[in-house]
Structure 1
Amino acid sequence: MVMEFARFTVREGAEAQMVADRPAMLAALRSRFPGCLAAYLTKEEDGTWLDIILWRTHADAEQSAREIITIPECAAWLSHIAKSGGLRHAEVLDAWPAP
């Protein structure tokens, strides 16, 4: 499994709508990419956001990163982002609870 970490800031006044749009975005993402296993949206103390997605494989994560903008619900959700702080992936070597 692979964890994807996407750090970003949200456009002024868009936080509530971004959170409200998330269920539809995740449903569309999971429908298009069944390798999407879990997702966690976090807000850090400094106001930046970190979206953490668990993928079955690194290839699943990379394919999604290339094609996510082609999914209308995902493109709409991404429009709430003011500035990207980058995307990175890390292999899961151990997990609890077990996947």
Structure 2
Amino acid sequence: MEQLNIIKELINKGDIVDAINLLEVYVLNNSTHLDKAFYLLGNAYRKQGNWQQTLNNYQRAIDLNPNSPAKEAHRMVMDILNFYNKDMYNQ
């Protein structure tokens, strides 16, 4: 869990590429706290604006832990995307 906290700090500092690389290695080599790792991956991709990877990773976290904060984050991203898509049609 300590490693995930360090990665969370990288995301907060804006070191997104490093955080994603570390998280990808983490999910391949660990079997604990994977819901948290996928949630953090979703957050990192969200900061990059990669909506598909954001939603995919939030969904993985939700699949592992239905009570994950990824559930609310997934809903919020969907709301944002639906808002933007509606605006595209109104121009």
TM-score over 0.5 for the pair: no
Bigger helix fraction: 2
From the two aligned structures, give the one with the greater strand fraction.
1
Structure with bigger RCO (C-alpha 8 Å, 6+ apart): 1
Compute the TM-score of the two structures, normalised by the length of structure 2. 0.31
